[in-house]
Structure 1
Amino acid sequence: MTAVSPLGRDIIALLNTPKSQASLAMITRGIERESARSHTNQLANTAHPAALGAPLTHPYITTDFAEAQLELVTPALTSRADTFAALASLHQFVDANLAEGEWMWPTSMPPYLPNDDAIEIARYGASNQAKLKERYRQGLAHRYGKRMQLISGIHYNFSLPDQFWRDLHHVQGHGQPLESFISERYFALIRNVMRHGWILAYLFGASPVVDRSYIATEDHALLAFDETSLYLPYATSLRLSSIGYSSAEQARYPLSYDSKAQYLDGLCQVLRQPSHRYQALPAEGQLNSAVIQLENELYGAIRPKIVDANLRPLNALCHKGLQYVELRSLDTNPFLPFGIDEHQSAFLDLFLLYCALAPSDALSLAERQSVAERQNQVALYGRDPNLRLPSGEGAMSVKALGLALLEPLEALATLFDRALGTSIHQSALAAQRAKLHDSGLTPSAQMLHEMQTRSQSFAVWAGEKAAAHRAQFRNQSVDEVWRARLTQAVTQSHRAQAALEAQPQMPFDVYLAQKNQLDCDCTSLALTARERSDLPLALGA
C-alpha cells in the first residue's frame, strides 16, 4: 500500500510564486446535493412539484433516481462564497415550493421506505429524451433495487484553472502537449483520491445508522439500535460501505485509471460487454444488457468529467480530455442545512490539490482491491480505536495514518490563505486534525450520540433535523437576484419541455437503437501492447 507522499520541492517553489498563488483564487467548484422529499418521516408519494420547474430541462433543480428524490445543482463558480450563496438560494426556493407537510430529508440514507412497488422512478415527460431517462432508471431498479438508488449524497465538482496548469506544465511538462499533461495530472489526482479517500469517510461520513425499511433482507451484519433503526457502533458511512451504494457486477470489471487511454478502453469494455445477469432481465426494462447502460451508471468515488452537450461522455473524453473531476464520496451532513459548508469545501480544495500535485504511481489491480477494502473497513468500523489500516509503513491506526496524510496539507493551507487573504483553510485543516485526535467530533459519532441521549430512532432524529433546517431556510434573507433567476428558470424549463414534446418523435425503439450505438474511436489513442496487457479482465468470469 502506497505511503503518504510529500510534495516535491519544485511544486512548493511554484506554489510560492505570486502568479501561482493568484491562480489559486480561480479554482472552479460546483456542488450537487441529492435529497429525498419526505412527509411524516416517510418517502413522499407526490409528483415533483410543478412550481420547481420541469426536471428534464431545469438547469439547477432536477430529480435523481426517484420522483421524490431532488437534485440541486449550483453553477460552476470561482468564488466559494458565490457557490454557497447559490446553494442557499436553491434550498430556500425548493423549500418554499414543496407540498404542505413535505421537507428535504437531511441524511444520505433515506427515510422510511414503502414496498418497491410504491416507489416511483423519476418522470420526465413524453419526449424520447424523457423516455430514455426513465428507461435508464427502470434498468437501475431492475439491476440494483430501488432502495439502494434512494441513497443520496453530495457531489463536489473541482477544476483547476488553465493558468495553473500552464505554470505546472512549464515546470513538469517535459515537452508533453498541454492537453495530455492536464489529463494525465487529473488521472493522477483520481488515483490519489482512490488511495487516500478513506479519510473523507472518516472525517465527513454521516451515515452510521439506517431505517430498518432500507434493508430488504435479514442477511446483514447490522445491529438493532431500536425497533426501527439498524446501525454499527463504529461505522462512519454505511452509504460508502458494501451495505450502501455498490455493484458486485461492476466490481468484476475494475477499470484502470493509470492513463486516459486505459480508462477509456476499460469504459468501452463495460459499455459493450453483455452481462449474463442483465441479459436475464426484461429487455423493455433497461436500455441494454451491458455491464453498464450508460457512462453515468459507473460507480466510483470520483469521476473524470467534461461538459459537451454534443458528445456522449465517452467520446468527449476521447476527443478533448478532462475538464474537471466530480468527487462523489461525500455523505450529506445532517447537522448542516445544505449538507455541506464552506469549511468542508476549503478542506476539500486542499485535499484535491494535494492529490493533483503529489506523486501518484500506477494503481495495480492488487492495490485497487486493497484500496476498496480499506474504504469499506473505514466505512463500517472507522471509529474503532483498534482498527488498523495497511500503509507503506505497515499497519497503522486511523489516527496515525490520517495525521500523516494531513501533514503535507499544512503548507497548502498556508499558501491558500495567503493567496486569498483568509484563514479558513488553516482553520478547516485544524478542525479535521481534531477529529483524528477525538473521534467523538466526527458527524457519525455525534449523530449516534444525539440519538442515544435523546432515545430517538433514526427517522425521528432526522425528522427533527429536517424541521430545524426548514426554520433556518425561512429565517434567512433571500437573494433576490437568485430568486428571480430561479423563477424564470421554472417558466423556461416548462416551455423547453413543451417544445421538445411538440417536435416530431421517431419511434422510441429506433431512437433507443441510435443511442445504444457505441461509436468509440478510443482505439485511435493507440494503446501500447504493455498498456493493453495491464488492463484487467473480468474477475471471476
Structure 2
Amino acid sequence: MTVTQHNFEQRLAALQAPEFAQSLTQLKRGVEREGLRIKGSGALSQAAHPRALGSALTHESITTDFSESLLEFITPPADTSETTVEQLNDIHKFVMSHIGDEMLWPMSMPCFVDDEDSIPIANFGSSNVGKMKQVYRIGLKNRYGSMMQAISGVHFNFSLPDSFWPLWAKLHNNTPGQDQINDDYLALIRNYRRTCWLIPFLFGASPALCSSFLKGKKHQLPFKKVGKGTFYLPYATSLRMSDLGYTNAEQSALQICYNKLDNYVRLLREAMQTPSTRFSRFAAGEDGHWQQLSNNILQIENELYSPIRPKQPTLPKEKPSDALVRRGISYIEVRALDINPFSAIGIDGEQMDFLDVYLMTCLLMPSEELTLSSIETARDNMNKVVLEGRNPDLMLDNEGVEVSMQQWGAELFDKFEQVAALLDKANKTAKYSDAVNAQRAKLNDPAQTPSGKIMQILLEDDADNSALGLLLAKEYAQSYQNLAYTHHNEADFIKMAEQSLQAQQEIEAADDKDFETYIRDYYNEPPAKKNA
C-alpha cells in the first residue's frame, strides 16, 4: 500500500475532525523524578535507603538510582498533568515524613561532595537480580566516576492512546498495526532529536555547579566564579547535559539512530557485544571479581545515554531491546529535563502540558530519516545551547542553514500555538495555550528561564549554588508537613512498602543458580526475534 505523505498543516487540519477529538483527550504521561537525600547541613546523606520506604528492588513508586542516597519516584501513566502532580505530591509527602531530618536536594548537579568515593552505591539485596543491579552501578562508577552518576534529572514519559493510531494510519493510507505505531513514534523521536536543544533552553536549571564536582576532571570550559566555590558559565542553561555530565565519547561513536526499530535494536545489541579497550581493565567476573558486568561498550542497554528513548515495559529478566522486538514501542521517555528547583516535586504541570504540545508537534511535522551528519548536527546544536543558550547572538545549524536560535525557536512556537489550540479544543481547556505562551515568553526574554533566574539570584547575592539549594530544600521539606494526600494515604504507602519488602524476600528465596551462572545466562540468551 502506498503511504500518503502530508505536511504539518494538512495533518493539523485532519486532526480537527471529530473522530480524533476523543483520542486527544487520552494522551498519557508519567514522570520519573530523581533526587539526592541530604543532611540538614546540605551534605550528601550516607545513610542506607530507609526501610520504611520499602524495597528499592521491587517498589513500583519509590526506588533508588545509582546511589543509596539517590531516590527515584515513579508515577503511573495518567490522563492529566494535574493527576501526575498530585501523585508526585503524595510520594514526596510520604518520603519526607520517613527520612527523619534529611531533605531532598532540589537541583540536578550534586550538592557538595568532598570525595566521590563517599557516594554510597545502591544496594538491592542478595538476589541475583539485586546483585546484578549493584554490579552494574559499580561498573558505572569505574567507567565514568560516581560524581557523574550522582547527577539527578527528571524523565517525562509520553504516549498516545490505542484509539489514535488506526485513525492516524487511515489518514496516511497506511496499514494499521504495531509496525506503523513503531514507525510513527520513531518519526516523532527524529523530530525531537533535531529540535531538543529547545528543552535545555526552556527548562535547563544547571548553569552553575559546586567546585567539588570538577575535582580531578579535565575540561576547557571558561568558568567564572561566584560565592565561595561555585563555578558558572554566563550563558549556560544545563551543565548536566554538557560534556561534564551525562555524555560518553565511546558511546557517541555508536551513532545510534532512530530510522527503523530493527536498526535501533541491532545497534544497541552490537554495543552490548562489542569489547571496549577502555573498559577492559576492569574485572568482569574473572576469578570472582566483579568491577563491572562486562567489558563491552555497554554493560546493559540502559547504559546508553540519550536525550530520548523508545520504550516498552519489560517483563522480569527481559532485556529492553527484546521487549521492543516482541511488543513494539509503547511510549517514549524524554530524558533531557533538569530538576526544576522552583518546584517542590522537580517539575510542574505547566511543563508537562507544554511537553504534550511539543511532542505532538514532533509527530505532526514531516520527519526525514536521520543521517550521520544530521545526528552530529543535532548533537552540536544541543551542546551549543547547554553551554551558551542565553547568548542573544547564538546561531544554530538548521539543516545546513545557519539561523539564530530565536528565529528557529519562533518558527517552532508558531507550530506549538496551533497544536495547543487543537488540544485545548479537544480537552475543553485553555491550559495548553497558556503553557505555550509561558514558554514563548522565555524565548523573548532568556532571563525568565530557570537558568536565567538562578544566575540572577547567585550574582546579585554573590551566593553559592549550595546555599540556594539548601534554602529551597528546607522550604520544600516544610511545605509537605501541611500538604494533604490526594490519591494515596499514609496507610497505603506503608502497605506498599511492606509488600515490596516481602516481594524482595520471595525473589531472594527463589534463586536457583549462582551469580556467575545467572550473568552468563543473561548474556547468552538468544536475542528475541519479531513475532517470536
In the superposition, the TM-score normalised over structure 1's length comes to: 0.93
Shift of 1:113: 1.1
Residue 324 of structure 2 aligns with which residue? 317
Q: Counterparts of 1:23-38 in structure 2 under 5 Å?
A: 23-38=23-38
SS at match of 2:163: helix
Shift of 1:482: 4.1
1:240-281 per-position Cα deviation (integer Å, ceiling 9, x unaligned):
111111111111111121111211111111011111111121
Whether contact under 8 Å (1:37, 1:104) holds in the other structure is yes
Residue 294 of structure 2 aligns with which residue? 288
Give the Cα–Cα distance (whole angstroms) in 2 for the partners of residues 440 and 118 of structure 1. Answer: 36
484 and 27 in structure 1: CA distance in 2 versus 1, 3 angstrom threshold: farther
Give the Cα–Cα distance (whole angstroms) in 2 for the partners of residues 382 and 518 of structure 1. Answer: 45
Q: Which of 363, 368, 374 is residue 375 of structure 2 equivalent to? A: 368
Residue 53 of structure 1 aligns with which residue? 54
Residue 497 of structure 2 aligns with which residue? 490
67 and 19 in structure 1: CA distance in 2 versus 1, 3 angstrom threshold: same
Letter in 2 for 1:419: A
SS at match of 1:303: strand
Whether contact under 8 Å (2:312, 2:329) holds in the other structure is yes
SS at match of 1:434: helix
Give the Cα–Cα distance (whole angstroms) in 1 for the partners of residues 107 and 212 of structure 2. Answer: 15
Q: Counterparts of 1:93-242 in structure 2 under 5 Å?
A: 93-100=94-101, 102-174=102-174, 176-217=175-216, 219-220=218-219, 221=221, 222-242=223-243
Q: Is 1:434 aligned with 2:408?
A: no
Letter in 2 for 1:147: M
Q: Which of 406, 412, 415 is residue 408 of structure 1 equivalent to? A: 415
Shift of 1:177: 4.5
Whether contact under 8 Å (1:34, 1:152) holds in the other structure is yes
Give the Cα–Cα distance (whole angstroms) in 2 for the partners of residues 516 and 286 of structure 1. Answer: 14
Give the Cα–Cα distance (whole angstroms) in 2 for the partners of residues 21 and 177 of structure 1. Answer: 19
Q: Which of 301, 307, 310 is residue 304 of structure 1 equivalent to? A: 310
Shift of 1:213: 0.8
393 and 520 in structure 1: CA distance in 2 versus 1, 3 angstrom threshold: closer
Aligned residues: 518
Q: Is 1:511 aligned with 2:506?
A: no
Shift of 1:454: 2.4
Q: Is 1:92 aligned with 2:99?
A: no
1:8-32 per-position Cα deviation (integer Å, ceiling 9, x unaligned):
3441232111221211111111100
Percent identity reads 36
Give the Cα–Cα distance (whole angstroms) in 2 for the partners of residues 157 and 482 of structure 1. Answer: 25
Give the Cα–Cα distance (whole angstroms) in 2 for the partners of residues 98 and 505 of structure 1. Answer: 35
Query: Structure 1 runs of 4+ off > 6 angstroms?
Result: none
Unaligned runs of 5+ in 1: 526-541
Q: Is 1:459 aligned with 2:458?
A: no
Shift of 1:291: 0.7
Whether contact under 8 Å (1:62, 1:71) holds in the other structure is yes
Give the Cα–Cα distance (whole angstroms) in 2 for the partners of residues 219 and 309 of structure 1. Answer: 40
173 and 321 in structure 1: CA distance in 2 versus 1, 3 angstrom threshold: farther
Give the Cα–Cα distance (whole angstroms) in 2 for the partners of residues 432 and 79 of structure 1. Answer: 19
Letter in 2 for 1:36: L
Whether contact under 8 Å (2:55, 2:63) holds in the other structure is yes
Whether contact under 8 Å (1:86, 1:482) holds in the other structure is no
Q: Counterparts of 1:9-24 in structure 2 under 5 Å?
A: 9-24=9-24
SS at match of 2:480: helix
Q: Counterparts of 1:361-400 in structure 2 under 5 Å?
A: 361-392=368-399, 394-400=401-407
Residue 509 of structure 2 aligns with which residue? 502
1:256-310 per-position Cα deviation (integer Å, ceiling 9, x unaligned):
2111121111111101111111112122211111110111111100000001315
Letter in 2 for 1:230: F
Give the Cα–Cα distance (whole angstroms) in 1 for the partners of residues 342 and 277 of structure 2. Answer: 43
179 and 503 in structure 1: CA distance in 2 versus 1, 3 angstrom threshold: closer
Letter in 2 for 1:361: E
155 and 6 in structure 1: CA distance in 2 versus 1, 3 angstrom threshold: farther
Letter in 2 for 1:159: S
Give the Cα–Cα distance (whole angstroms) in 2 for the partners of residues 517 and 32 of structure 1. Answer: 31
Whether contact under 8 Å (2:94, 2:490) holds in the other structure is yes
Give the Cα–Cα distance (whole angstroms) in 1 for the partners of residues 217 and 337 of structure 2. Answer: 27
Residue 245 of structure 2 aligns with which residue? 244
Residue 287 of structure 2 aligns with which residue? none
Residue 528 of structure 1 aligns with which residue? none
Give the Cα–Cα distance (whole angstroms) in 2 for the partners of residues 388 and 482 of structure 1. Answer: 50
Letter in 2 for 1:146: S
SS at match of 2:321: helix
Deviates more, 1:455-464 or 1:471-480: 471-480
